[in-house]
Structure 1
Amino acid sequence: MLNRDWISQRIPHQGTMCLLDRVVDWSDSRIACAATSHADPANPLRAEGRLGAANGIEYAAQAMAIHGALLANADGRPRQGYLTSVRSVSLHVARLDDLPDELDVVAERLSGDGNNILYQFSLHHAGRCLLEGRAAVVLDAAAVHGEKS
């Protein structure tokens, strides 16, 4: 089962920073996850008692990391990825913490090569789009620049 325990073993975010509860569906090009941490008063991304909608980008980034882990060789560790840019982000709500039910987090791989990936992402609640945009991810940034680990 691809639940929070499975997720936390495969991404660097631990404890309350592991924001996603489970993988709902995935393929080579797309992942859909569910989250309830937006409603948790202890969510570490909250500021002044609220969780602004822009924090949904972190939810999407974690879905992208999980997607990379799922695509990795079953015997190997996924490569470290870095979110290098987000573009065309549209926020359709001001905040996330006032939403009572699960968030649906979707990331779709649009293009990529061995070191660079472009994703389109969105967050939904009860069928309503909360935010959407595109994100670029660089894998093994040190290797891209010829640095040694």
Structure 2
Amino acid sequence: MTAPQTMDQAGIARRIPHSGTMCLLERLESWDANRIHCTTTTHTRQDNPLRTASGLLSPNLVEYAAQAMALHGGLLAPDDSEPSAGFLASARGVRLAVEHIDEVAGALHVHAERVSGDATQILYEFAVKDGQGRALAEGRAVVVLNTPIAN
């Protein structure tokens, strides 16, 4: 069985190691071997787990992008496999266009593109845009895969 081209939040949560309100993505819009596009309005929710007393700050957009990367990896994995551990090792060249994302109306469009990688690490470029296509966050991220955590 192949992975679906679109998916709701419940399907996304089954493919990434995030659940409940920490699963920030609501819909998979499209994907292929190198790219993924998701949408969400979780940035407007009062129960967003990343929200602080001062609101939802724009550096959290990196987490939205990281979840899209995790979903991309989950979609590329065999259907019967458990979500594997991946860790955001670095985010570089990150440009943020707003201070708070909870003030952005409408859906966020989360894009990630695999630039290079192997079985141990992947380099992605990412962009999170508003409904008008304005970039709210852009950058590059390295995800390290299947690395055990020392206790």
Which TM class, normalised by the smaller chain length? over 0.9
Aligned length: 144
Q: Distance in 2 between matches of 1:42 and 1:68?
A: 27
2:46 corresponds to which residue? 41
1:128 corresponds to which residue? 134
Q: Identity rate of aligned residues, in percent?
A: 48
Contact 2:126 2:138 (8 Å CA) reproduced: yes
- How far 1:78 moved relative to its partner? 3.7
The secondary structure found in structure 2 opposite 1:28 is coil
- How far 1:53 moved relative to its partner? 0.7
The answer to whether residue 89 in structure 2 is matched with residue 79 in structure 1 is no
User: Match of 2:97, as an amino acid?
Assistant: H
The secondary structure found in structure 2 opposite 1:136 is strand
- How far 1:73 moved relative to its partner? 1.2
5 Å-filtered alignment, 1:59-78, equals: 59-78=64-83
Query: Could you state the TM-score of these two structures normalised by the residue count of structure 2?
Result: 0.91
Contact 1:41 1:49 (8 Å CA) reproduced: no
User: Match of 1:71, as an amino acid?
Assistant: L
Give 5+ residue unaligned stretches, structure 1: none
CA RMSD of aligned residues (A): 1.4
Q: Distance in 1 between matches of 2:48 and 2:115?
A: 30
Deviations 1:17-75 (A, max 9, x none): 11000100100000000010000011110111411111000000000000001000123
Query: Could you state the TM-score of these two structures normalised by the residue count of structure 1?
Result: 0.92
Q: Distance in 2 between matches of 1:14 and 1:117?
A: 23
1:112 corresponds to which residue? 117
User: Match of 2:92, as an amino acid?
Assistant: R
Contact 2:96 2:136 (8 Å CA) reproduced: yes
User: Match of 1:119, as an amino acid?
Assistant: Y
Q: Distance in 1 between matches of 2:9 and 2:34?
A: 21
The secondary structure found in structure 2 opposite 1:47 is coil
Contact 2:40 2:109 (8 Å CA) reproduced: yes
2:98 corresponds to which residue? 93
User: Match of 1:83, as an amino acid?
Assistant: L
